[in-house]
Amino acid sequence: MLKLTPILLAILYALAMYRFSVWRTARTLDARSTELTDPVLRHHTAQMALALDLPRIVVHIHEIPQINGLAAPDGRIFLTRGFYEKYRRGEVSSAELASVIAHELGHVALGHSRRRMIDFSGQNAVRAALAMVLGRFLPGIGIWVANMLTSLLAARLSRQDEYEADAWAAALLTKAGIGTGPQKSLFAKLDALTGAGGRGAPVWMMSHPATPDRIRAIEALERRWNQPGPVIGA
């Protein structure tokens, strides 16, 4: 039992830190956000709400200059002011911004916030266990190796969430009549918009898939959806 104590403490610490992060995020969003009122974007959210059989989809603007979308742990959807201003200046179309909303809705629908809490707790347990084992064989650097391996695991799980949210958004955009074209065109310009182009980080270290991989995944879905179904009774 004593050998498991560090692992149990790591799990409890992770849960406590996650809960604190959720509380702090909610307070920040409440203090620095307002509801989206743009009529064109609200038309797109109405299209998506109809496809989901919902009365409406509420989106908020988070007053920060960064370019991002956010699905809060409580299920609310946010676009940053920086992203919205790109739309206002014509650098991003309304349909492209709608694809961001669809992506964040995918995170909510697929329960990724809850999964991240479980993943974060598990990763802390793995980190503690690896540090205990590796510390015996690699004194002095065992903890560093454990942290690196756990970070790689976290990045892989995050990329999986992003692929799933992309696929969910592609299905919603198709059903809503918006289509996947804006989703792919936004990906094509996203690196330039966020200033991420040219960093050259290996894909396996990144929390998001590489842009070409995301586009190829959506195109694979398109090919699958366009295939004719089986003939009943044949």
Query: How many other CB atoms are found less than 10 A from the CB of residue 76?
Result: 18
- pTM (predicted TM-score): 0.75
Residues 6+ apart with CB under 8 A from 191: 197, 211
Rounded mean pLDDT for each run of 10 residues along the chain, 234 residues in total? 55 61 72 92 98 97 93 91 96 97 96 67 56 57 60 76 96 97 94 66 66 94 77 40
Please write the tens of the pLDDT for every residue from 115-141.
665 555 555 555 555 555 555 555 665
Contact 60, 76 (CB under 8 A): yes
Contact 166, 106 (CB under 8 A): yes
Please write the tens of the pLDDT for every residue from 147-173.
665 666 677 778 899 999 999 999 999
Exposure string of 47-71, with b = 16+ CB inside 10 Å and e = fewer, is bbbebeeeeebebbbbebeebebbb
Contact 150, 127 (CB under 8 A): yes
**Integer Cα distance of 179 and 47 in angstroms:** 11
Domain boundaries, the chain: 2-226
